[in-house]
Structure formats: structure tokens, C-alpha cells
Amino acid sequence: MKTPPLRDNFPYRNRIISGLSLGVLLVEASERSGSLITARLAMEQNREVLAVPGNITSKNSFGTNYLIKSGAKLVQQWQDVVSELPPEISAAILPPKIDETETKGEPKQSELVPAGLNENERKIWQKLSADETTHVDSLLEQSELSFGDLSAALLNLEMRELIRMLPGKHYARKI
């Protein structure tokens, strides 16, 4: 416990960390990154190795791009990580699929609202479209929700795979 953080001890520590983990996710790694050592150790321990691709001209993306080329699983969104978890864990994280036919009355197709939405989520859902994006500031103004409530509603809708966030904090319904 009183050992100072010496560079030579990092691989030993990383072997323990990778051994205790279900898998290893690398977001950035240079050519001589210690993260690559951890990824190699995880592979040796039959752990999942996942990597987020990066710009091919960035020195900090060399390691992740190399791992993907070598067989690591490509991660583009959070669902890619969850899908690699054991079924009992991923089932607790992923929400159940929504049957959009479950609605009250018989609204027009464009007015279908997925079942199980709370009041804030329903309010946001109705303000979004699949055809055009809406900026988070517009949603904040139109919904009259607090920023915390809006953020929670957007996150829940995104996790239920009902909406998607696009660059620049723009949101749209998923088709």
C-alpha cells in the first residue's frame, strides 16, 4: 500500500485491473501507450477488448485504430459496449423494446407516442421530428422544463432508442 507510483509497477497493476474487469475499452492510445499493454493483458485473460476509432492522423489514435485492425471490437455508441456484457447485466441496462402500437384512442400515425413515457419525456417527444433536428436550447425554451429535467428526459429517450443526439446538441426522433 505504501509503494510509490513507479513506472515499472504499472503493468502489474494493469494486469490486476484487466483481470478483475469484464473487458477493456480504449478511447485513445498512442503507439507506446500503457493502455496497449493493458489491452494485451486483457486478451491474454480472455477479456473483451473494445476500442473507439480515431482520426488516422492523430498520434493518440494509433493504438485504438491498431487494436481495431487487430480484432478488437469497434465501438461507435454506448450500445456497442452494452451488447458485449453478459446477458443478465445488459438486460438490466437496456430498456425493453417499445411497441409503438400501444396508444390511447386511434391517433394519426404522426401523433403516435410510445408507451411508458413520463410527462417530461412525452413533452419532449412531441416537440421532436424525424425529419429535422432541434437544438437543445430550443427544446429548453419550448418545453419550459428546467435544464436538469430536460437533460434527464433526453437521456431516457436516447437510452430507450427513441431519439438520437447529433453533433452540436441537436436532437431528432429515430425512425
- CATH code of 165's domain: 1.10.10.10
Boundary (domain end) residue, out of 90, 124, 140: 90
All three cell numbers of 166? 447529433
Please report the beta strands in 27-78, taking only residues with DSSP state E, as ranges in sequence order. 48-51, 73-74
Alpha-carbon distance of 157 to 151, in angstroms, equals 10
Place of cell 437496456: 94
Give me the domain span that covers residue 169: 109-173
pLDDT digits 0-9 by tens, 121-172:
999 999 998 888 999 999 999 999 999 999 999 999 999 889 999 888 999 9
Model pTM above 0.85: no
The region that residue 71 occupies, defined by phi over 0 for left and psi between -120 and 50 for alpha, beta otherwise, is left
Alpha-carbon distance of 41 to 134, in angstroms, equals 44
Alpha-carbon distance of 65 to 58, in angstroms, equals 10
Res. 24: pLDDT tops 90: yes
Q: Does 26 lie in the same domain as 57?
A: yes
Q: Does 145 lie in the same domain as 115?
A: yes
Res. 95: pLDDT tops 70: no
All three cell numbers of 149? 429535467
Q: Does 29 lie in the same domain as 79?
A: yes
